[in-house]
Chains A and B, each alone.
Chain A
Amino acid sequence: MKSKKRERRKAKSGLKKRKYTRLDVVIFIILTLGAVVIIVPFWNVLVVSFATQKEYADNPLMLFPGKPTLDAYAYLFKDGKIWQGYINTFKLLIMGLPLSVFLTTTMAYGLSRKYFPGKKVIMYLVVFTMIFNGGIVPMYLVMRQLGLTGSLWAVTFSTCFSVFNMILMINYFQSIPDSLIESARLDGAGEWKILFRIVLPLSKPIMATVTLFYGVSIWNEWYDAMIFIRDPQKLPLQNVLRSIIQETEIATSATGSIAAMGAAQFDDGIKMAAVFLTMVPIMCFYPFLQKYFTKGIMVGAVKM
């Protein structure tokens, strides 16, 4: 596998020696344009969040606000809900991430074993839940019996397992040579020891990928929180953002603080400032973590 990679790189460097052709230019332009189409909407979000309403209405095409204002951010800061949302989302991450990774790893490792009685049944039962579910009220009833409604744990428990991530992991675990595991077993290692001492150290890429996938999906979670959370102080970030974007609330709570600021309210600015604040962490981390996202997926795909 490694030698192949080297060969490939050689081939590539062979290609590199050639001059840039018209085809290269075309490809460069197409991809750059594509990137611009992706970036511009983000940039526009920033512009709207920093512009005054009048300025933006006069010139929606501007690339930089002439008189940038922090009013929208000041409003959100004063309002405070978005920070509370941040805290709650971090709580969800701290509670959910270890649990999700632990459950997925153990399930995936168990199901990646070649044979044991009941393996097929378990696999079918697990996959069945990808297609069928009992519905929201039965789920709610279960949470209620467990006394979890209204608590962030309800959100954590209802969303902490993704069969998709488990399948990714099973695929990876199965690619680990059996001989390694067998020899460890002959040395008298138990399954837990094999999992933690042998399999996991070899599975860092997939662990990173799955952890990140879970992290992102927890960050983006809103539906279950909408159903299960009752205390506004406990709503995660996405729900706060939703209520700001849909203006379900801004009118009543805004009156006070906006009036105190003496500025005309600019709804779009506040909305876009909220959008920006909600995605800024992903934006900051993603470029550095991107390779872990892609690696795991690639590992799965190469097996085809």
Chain B
Amino acid sequence: MKGYRKWTKRAVSLGLAALLTLSASGCSGGGDPDGGSSSGGGDEKLTISFGALDNLTEEQWGTEFHQFFMDKFNIEWDFNYIEWASWDEMMRVWINSGDLPDVSIWNYNYTDAENYSKQGLLYKFPDDWKERWPNAAMAYEASPLNTQLEEKFGGTYVMLRPTYVYHAQTDPIVNQIGVIGIRKDWAEAVGFEIKDAYTVDEILEFARLVKEQDPGNLGSSLIPICFDPANALTCFVSSNSRHSRIETAFYKDENGEYQWGPADESVLETLKIYQQAYREGLLDPEFYLLNDNDKDKFYINGTVAVYHMGGVAEFRQTVDTEMRNNLRLNSDDVVHEAILLGNDEKYHNIILGSNYWSSLIFSPDISEENFERIMDLIDWTCTEEGQTICNMGIEGVDWEYQDGEAVSILPEDTSLLDKYGPRVESVYILEDDFAVVNPSIKEEYRNRMNGLAQLKLDHGEGKYDEIDWDQEFHVSRAKDRVQFNYGEEYANLIVQEGDLETNWNSWVEDKMPLVQEYLDELNSTY
């Protein structure tokens, strides 16, 4: 069945390519993976500058995988590494001083996108780009926001990177937050029921049991729940209250009036749970120092009972490899993954209509050849074949077709990351998409994650919130001033001494003048 689906898709894209070659002969692009006009040896070698969040060593650049792309597209990379911690800083300096690399990964936000496109600081795509690079266009349109932005700006300036294109986990698409990993062996040891969905309270109960009984014999290095401030926001606050979303803190109430979520009583209730977890010592006592990387304490140090895994099969695979290598544990015996519900047993973290993470932007000064060459590459990586190579490595070396199915032949104790380093050439479609079907990821992990995604929908409230486009596209200084980092704001509230309610009240009061201004603006406009 799966093989069939794949085959038809490939046929369609090939047909499309043929059609295009006929209609737009001479222009490069198309879905033909090998020896198409795009990668003929006759083209001169181009140097493409690329601003990305990964760092590769000389040695890694020299490996077969990266060489494959350089040869195929006859390019050389001028790689501009951006540190995660200074991502916003770097991009802002580069964009404003007109020194963008040919293509870069940018942490999209609407206000800046509007500003930049108006000021001509981003490259405007030629009007016919979708016909010339149909696979890229197809992936692009998988994120509905892309089409919206195009209308707003009168052309394509920003390419939001789609999470799911070919292989959505569910319909409608839900995002990957809200899946936690727990230590199954410890749960069994303390007599905690293994389920597919837990409420926040149940997880706290588990953490409490682990803390009391310390089944792993870890003493002071045990961290019952390992959340950084951002994960804590997701898992304690957003999972319990619809009014403080990751996406936005503002919502429309029943009367159609805009309100500020964090000032809602329901958020206070979630903060109480959060603080209780902190004060009982269920969180890392210094959770505010953690960042997302610290989730590796679960599978590298083995000191964590609960952490926010995210519903991506590849993450689960990482847990498996790392646990084997670092802790000599078989993750299938010791790890259980589940979704996290609010205490009302509903799953609240669903918001429809985004399906993207970060974006690609191009330098306004990019040469036409360079633009075309990158688009050729992007377009090819958006084909099924491109996706397979991006995510599985080189055919015949890392994987091969067996009975029409791609099968990984990578030894069990190595991963593509070990072998090649970050696969930065997978520029556009995020890895999550292919991870749903990636044969180098154990099938049971994939099925499990897809099942959990479906479970979120089953536990949903029936009707879903969608992105509020009015708010998304609103631009004003009042809005700029209320862009708070809620993960950090809440963490700050949690560790403050004294009564939470009092602190929360004074925090709300503190922010209210700015918030009110924005609310008034929203309410009078929409």
**Which residues in A have some Cβ–Cβ distance to B below 8 Å?**
53-54, 57-58, 80, 136-137, 140-141, 144, 149-150, 226-227, 230-233, 243, 246-253, 255-256, 258-260, 262-265
Nearest to A228 among chain B residues (CB) is B93
- Which residue of A149, A231, A247 is within 8 Å of B293 (Cβ)? A247
Q: A223 CB to closest chain B CB, in angstroms?
A: 10
- Which residue of B54, B99, B421 is within 8 Å of A149 (Cβ)? B99
The 10 residue pairs across chains A and B that have the minimum distance between CB atoms: A259-B325, A232-B81, A251-B293, A256-B418, A230-B80, A57-B221, A140-B97, A248-B85, A248-B84, A232-B55
Q: Does B79 contact A (CB under 8 A)?
A: yes
Interface string of B289-312 (1 = CB under 8 A from A): 001011010001110000000000
Q: A239 CB to closest chain B CB, in angstroms?
A: 8
Majority secondary structure of chain B interface residues (helix, strand, loop or mixed): helix
- Which residue of B57, B86, B96, B322 is within 8 Å of A259 (Cβ)? B322
Q: Does B11 contact A (CB under 8 A)?
A: no
- Sorting the interface of chain B by its residue count into under 10, 10 to 19, 20 to 34 or 35 or more gives 35 or more
Q: Does B326 contact A (CB under 8 A)?
A: yes
Contact call A249/B55, Cβ cutoff below 8 A: yes
- Which residue of B85, B93, B415 is within 8 Å of A255 (Cβ)? B415
Q: Does B19 contact A (CB under 8 A)?
A: no
Inside 8 A of B325's CB, which chain A residues have their CB? 258-259, 262
For chain B, residues 285 to 340, give those with C-beta under 8 angstroms from any C-beta of chain A: 291, 293-294, 296, 300-302, 318, 321-322, 325-327
Q: B424 CB to closest chain A CB, in angstroms?
A: 11
Contact call B326/A258, Cβ cutoff below 8 A: yes
Contact call B417/A255, Cβ cutoff below 8 A: yes
Inside 8 A of A150's CB, which chain B residues have their CB? 80
Inside 8 A of A141's CB, which chain B residues have their CB? 97
For chain B, residues 197 to 225, give those with C-beta under 8 angstroms from any C-beta of chain A: 219-221
Contact call B294/A259, Cβ cutoff below 8 A: no
- Which residue of A144, A232, A250, A264 is within 8 Å of B301 (Cβ)? A264
Q: Does B412 contact A (CB under 8 A)?
A: no
In the complex with contacts A137-B97, A141-B97, A251-B296, A259-B81 CB distance below 8 A: no
Sample of 20 more A-B contacts, CB < 8 Å, known A230-B51, A248-B83, A252-B54: A58-B219, A80-B57, A137-B93, A149-B99, A227-B89, A231-B80, A232-B79, A232-B81, A248-B84, A249-B83, A252-B55, A255-B418, A256-B418, A258-B300, A259-B325, A259-B326, A259-B413, A259-B418, A262-B325, A264-B326
Q: Does B58 contact A (CB under 8 A)?
A: yes
Q: Does B422 contact A (CB under 8 A)?
A: yes
Q: Does B191 contact A (CB under 8 A)?
A: no
- Distance of A136 Cα from B301 Cα, bound (Å): 41
Inside 8 A of B221's CB, which chain A residues have their CB? 53-54, 57
A-B contact pairs, 18 of them (CB 8 A): A58-B219, A140-B97, A226-B86, A230-B80, A230-B81, A231-B80, A231-B81, A243-B83, A247-B293, A248-B83, A252-B54, A253-B421, A255-B415, A256-B418, A258-B300, A262-B326, A264-B327, A265-B296
Q: A261 CB to closest chain B CB, in angstroms?
A: 9
- Distance of A226 Cα from B288 Cα, bound (Å): 24
Inside 8 A of A53's CB, which chain B residues have their CB? 221, 301
Contact call A249/B418, Cβ cutoff below 8 A: no
Q: B78 CB to closest chain A CB, in angstroms?
A: 8
Q: Does B98 contact A (CB under 8 A)?
A: yes
Inside 8 A of B294's CB, which chain A residues have their CB? 247
Nearest to A239 among chain B residues (CB) is B83
- Which residue of A136, A233, A243, A248 is within 8 Å of B93 (Cβ)? A136
Q: B240 CB to closest chain A CB, in angstroms?
A: 29
In the complex with contacts A255-B418, A256-B418, A259-B325, A246-B302 CB distance below 8 A: no
Inside 8 A of B85's CB, which chain A residues have their CB? 243, 246, 248
Nearest to A54 among chain B residues (CB) is B221
Inside 8 A of B89's CB, which chain A residues have their CB? 226-227
The interface centre, meaning the residue of B51, B98, B296, B327 with most chain A CB atoms within 10 A of its CB, is B296
- Distance of A251 Cα from B53 Cα, bound (Å): 13
- Distance of A289 Cα from B326 Cα, bound (Å): 45
Inside 8 A of A57's CB, which chain B residues have their CB? 219-221
Contact call A255/B322, Cβ cutoff below 8 A: yes
Nearest to B222 among chain A residues (CB) is A57
- Distance of A231 Cα from B79 Cα, bound (Å): 7
- Distance of A24 Cα from B325 Cα, bound (Å): 59
- Which residue of A136, A231, A249 is within 8 Å of B84 (Cβ)? A249
Nearest to B221 among chain A residues (CB) is A57
Inside 8 A of A243's CB, which chain B residues have their CB? 83, 85
Q: A17 CB to closest chain B CB, in angstroms?
A: 56
Inside 8 A of A226's CB, which chain B residues have their CB? 83, 86, 89
- Distance of A252 Cα from B56 Cα, bound (Å): 10
Inside 8 A of B54's CB, which chain A residues have their CB? 252
- Distance of A258 Cα from B196 Cα, bound (Å): 32
Q: A151 CB to closest chain B CB, in angstroms?
A: 13
Inside 8 A of B415's CB, which chain A residues have their CB? 255
Interface string of B66-97 (1 = CB under 8 A from A): 00000000000001110111100110010011
Q: B254 CB to closest chain A CB, in angstroms?
A: 44
- Distance of A226 Cα from B90 Cα, bound (Å): 8
Nearest to A57 among chain B residues (CB) is B221
Inside 8 A of A58's CB, which chain B residues have their CB? 219-220
